[in-house]
Homo-oligomer: A and B are copies of this chain.
Amino acid sequence: MVVQRSFSSLAAFGAALLLAARGEARADEGMWTFDAPPIDRIAAATGARLDAAWLDAARASAVRLTNGCSGGIVSGQGLVMTNAHCVADCVQTLSGGGEDAYLTDARDREERCAGLQAEALLTITDVTDQVRASVQGKDGEAYVRAREGALALAELAACGQDRTLRCQAVSFFRGGQYKVYKYRRYNDVRLVFAPEAAVAAFGGDPDNFNFPRFAFDVAFLRLYVDEAPAATPVFLPWRSTPPAEGEASFVVGNPGSTERQLTVAQLETQRDLVQPLAQAQRLELRGRLLQFRADDPDRARGAAQALAWVENGVKIGRGRMALLNDRAFMAGKRAEEDALKARVAADPALAATAGVAWDRIADAQDAARDLYPAYRQLENGPGGSDLFYDARLLVRAALERDKPDAERLPEYGDARLPRIERRLLDAPPRDLALERIYLEHWLLKTREALGVDDPRVKALLGGDSPENLARALAETRLVDPAFRAELWAGGRAAVEASDDPLVAFVLRIDGMARAARAAYEAKVSGPVDAAAEAIAGARLALLGDQIYPDATFTLRLSYGRVAGWRERGRAVEPFTTFAGFYARASGAPPFVAPPRWLEARKALAPDTPFDFVTTNDIVGGNSGSPVLDRRGRVMGAIFDGNSHAIGGAYGYDATANRAVALTTAAIGEALSKVYGRAGLADELMGR
């Protein structure tokens, strides 16, 4: 799930090197922005010339969920299709530990998902020039602060204080462009339908990032405004007929993050430092969560989602490292970089702005080796621990709000505070037993990464052992929303006076965390960002509309087609069927068909296409993205990538990278025949 892609076989690679050396996007590659859709390129590849109406409807119907997923509006009454794994937390909260298929049909039982918001893109505005002006002549930490300040101002200028809107300033092409994305914001998002976890995540970790696949990973939400379903006159028409092999497919969604424009020196840092450190920690955390679950069946349900995310991360980490350690892949990246360097060197104007940029970035990698571990451990904090981040937000917001806007940490500017407040006051419940695991794991790994004799580690632990300290921190009262609200309202005085163990701890280590961040910004991210901006400028000048920006969890358009691929000389068909699902359902977890599916077996047409694959270029964040046909009808929901697509943060190869989706045909069948949700099916089909 949450899809990541990668280059695949070495054989396929050789052929792609020539295009790579030119630095242009290859066949079916690309996550294109809606203000620069590659119409001609799409027409040449798919035969479909997308018009303004198609693009406007797709944009207006696409939603971004604030939990990192995508979705599509599929009725005039605010109905949104997304993945079941995108709403698992909400299902768990609302179903209260009991029945895990959220099967309510009556409109008045659609209940709110705490903390979840949906955002639909309205406009895109270029603010590159004003950001450029603000950073002129600055470098290091000052550069970073000036840029962040300018972006915050641009957001405020575009949205003002309108709480039905959200404005977000985004860097594209690693600083080559800055744009403000303005969204219609929906703060009230309710759960309409989610299937049983067993069928949503059928095949579990073993099948994740694999295909053939048999997961019913879909859920429906509804946008509400003023306690009533939102009117959404523009929506995606539902297609009940299955996709056909070879037909054009378009994915509209929010790929989260790619690093395809990193320099070779940066990729080497990823390979030698960043990814190994993260992966070692993830693997150990995975073991902890597996054991936590095994030791107590009552915990199984609460731990399952936490474990699923970590296991997903493990697969992504493995895929990324495999790609970074692939000599052919790195040779391709080197060839691409050398070609761009040569073109820059041949152009006096570009050479003046970007000529030394690669060396600057390489120099900063030496600093990264020294500074990254402390930055990661102290400033990023414990992965998974929502309560630590709640405490961090409370502490920092309290300290920063006392300062003039321009002197604050950029993420605590006035324009950003409402979002922080909402996160703190509108949070879903937290599981203290899991929080304690995350905290203990983080303390142990911080000691390991920095060394037991590092003064920061000594200060962090304050003479205690990681185990004891984590136990004490997990006594925090931050699980109580009222307590969070009180601290938020009380500001600096309340935070500084608090005897809550976690709040006091975060306050105590805050200076150390800020110092690690400041050092990293001064010596690594500041210099790198400035140099990357120069390279991006050169790339844009030389390659113009042949390139797309790295993913930034903003709305993108991907084109492709429904197609299998060849695996070790054998063809992998693009579709699975209901029949295949029942054949795989051995009854041993994670291959369990829920009772409803067993009962409905005879009613379902066995040959109905269930899951399918396309060549669309997608990554994590695209989960829940609608798959559209050339007429703009929705024919599937993205929920994963195949194994070749895992390392796709760094590249794409159309011969083997595949997006994995669920057909709307199967969704319609199952809603009617497995779940008896005729009303919902009627709404989808416009009946």
Which chain A residues have a beta carbon within 8 Å of chain B's beta carbons? Answer: 203, 205-207, 210, 272, 279-280, 283-292, 294-296, 318, 325, 437, 440-441, 444, 447-448, 451-452, 461, 463-465, 467-468, 586-590
Contact = CB atoms under 8 A, between A and B. Distances in A.
A205 B468 CA distance: 16
Contacts of A587: 463
Contacts of A286: 284, 287
A588 B294 contact: no
Contact of A287 (B285, B448, B586, B589): B285
A409 B131 CA distance: 73
Given A295-B292, A447-B206, A272 B589 contact: no
Contacts of A463: 586-588
Nearest to A296: B295
Given A461-B588, A589-B465, A325 B272 contact: yes
A639 to B, nearest CB: 18
25 contacts: A203-B452, A206-B448, A207-B452, A272-B325, A279-B280, A284-B284, A284-B286, A284-B287, A285-B287, A287-B287, A287-B288, A287-B290, A287-B291, A288-B288, A288-B290, A289-B291, A292-B295, A294-B437, A295-B295, A463-B586, A463-B587, A463-B588, A465-B588, A465-B589, A468-B589
A484 to B, nearest CB: 27
Closest 9 CB pairs of A and B: A287-B287, A283-B283, A291-B291, A284-B287, A206-B452, A287-B288, A288-B291, A465-B588, A465-B589
Nearest to A284: B287
A129 to B, nearest CB: 44
- Oligomeric state, in number of copies? 2
A205 B207 CA distance: 35
A510 B81 CA distance: 49
A588 B207 contact: no
A290 B284 contact: yes
Given A287-B289, A294-B437, 10 more contacts: A279-B280, A280-B318, A283-B283, A283-B284, A285-B287, A291-B292, A463-B588, A464-B588, A467-B589, A468-B588
B291 A437 contact: yes
Contacts of A289: 287, 291
Nearest to A205: B448
- Residue from A452, A586, A590 with most neighbouring chain B CB atoms (10 Å): A452
A589 B461 CA distance: 12
Nearest to A290: B288
A294 B291 CA distance: 10
Q: Which of A290, A440, A464 neighbours the largest number of chain B CB atoms within 10 Å of its CB?
A: A290
Nearest to A592: B465
A512 B203 CA distance: 25
Contacts of A461: 588
A323 to B, nearest CB: 13
Nearest to A436: B294
Contacts of A589: 465, 467-468
Residue among A291, A292, A444, A468 with most chain B CB within 10 A: A291
A57 B586 CA distance: 65
Nearest to A281: B283
